Amino acid sequence: MKSPVTFTLNGSESAVFVDSGANLLDVLRRGCGDLSPKYGCGQGSCGACTVLIDGEPHVSCLVLAETVAGRSVETTGGLASGPDLHPLQRAFIDGFAAQCGYCTPGMLMAAKALLDRNPSPTRSEVEEAISGNLCRCTGYEPIIDAILEAAKQRGAA
């Protein structure tokens, strides 16, 4: 059975029919065509599917799609404004914080939630914020550095 769900996706109203029991990740990718959140494990362990719901990070593979009705969902797909990348995206590129890039959308959203709440985090606060996100390529250090760099850039702007 399909039921209609209406929510805000990256600032725009979005209305989709969801299969009963579908998770938000599937609905974003297949229903809304936003391929930025990635499927890694489907069990909450990898963080590749991390999106923000009402500003807070959630693993979208474990969110029952119906539960986002009326709420605001943000994905990496909505980070840039036009051609201007978000400071986090810029810092990830400049700092070689993405290799294969599969974990990157999840890392970016976890980092955005942190910086929105805490514009000048310590290194250990950054580590904590991305502790639910696995990266098999970078060894994490470039990612942590990039997030700290983005915080610095934003502070300077």
Ligand X SMILES: Cc1cc2nc3c(=O)[nH]c(=O)nc-3n(C[C@H](O)[C@H](O)[C@H](O)COP(=O)(O)OP(=O)(O)OC[C@H]3O[C@@H](n4cnc5c(N)ncnc54)[C@H](O)[C@@H]3O)c2cc1C
Residues of this chain that interact with another protein (CB under 8 A) are 1, 3, 20-21, 23, 42-44, 47, 50, 53, 56-59, 61-64, 66-67, 110, 113, 127-129, 131-133
What's the min distance (Å) between Cβ of 88 and ligand FES? 15
Q: Between residues 44 and 77, which has the closer beta carbon with respect to ligand X? A: 44
Beta-carbon contacts of residue 156 (< 8 Å; ≥ 6 apart): none
Q: Between residues 47 and 105, which has the closer beta carbon with respect to another protein? A: 47
Task: List, as one string, the DSSP characters of 54-115.
Answer: TTEEEEGGGSBGGGGTT-EEE-GGGTSBTTBPPHHHHHHHHTT--SS-SSHHHHHHHHHHHH
Q: Between residues 2 and 136, which has the closer beta carbon with respect to ligand FES? A: 136
What's the min distance (Å) between Cβ of 13 and ligand X? 28
Residue 23 interacting partner from ligand FES, another protein, ligand X, none (CB closer than 5 to 8 Å by kind) = another protein
- Chain residues in the site for ligand FES (CB under 6 A): 39-42, 44-49, 59, 61, 98-103, 135-138
Q: Between residues 14 and 133, which has the closer beta carbon with respect to ligand FES? A: 133
Contact 41/133 with Cβ under 8 angstroms?
no
Q: Which of 30, 26, 51 is nearest to 39 (CA)?
A: 26
13-72: contacts with ligand X (CB under 6 A): 43-45
Q: Which of 101, 84, 91, 83 is nearest to 35 (CA)?
A: 101
**Site residues, ligand X (CB under 6 A):** 43-45
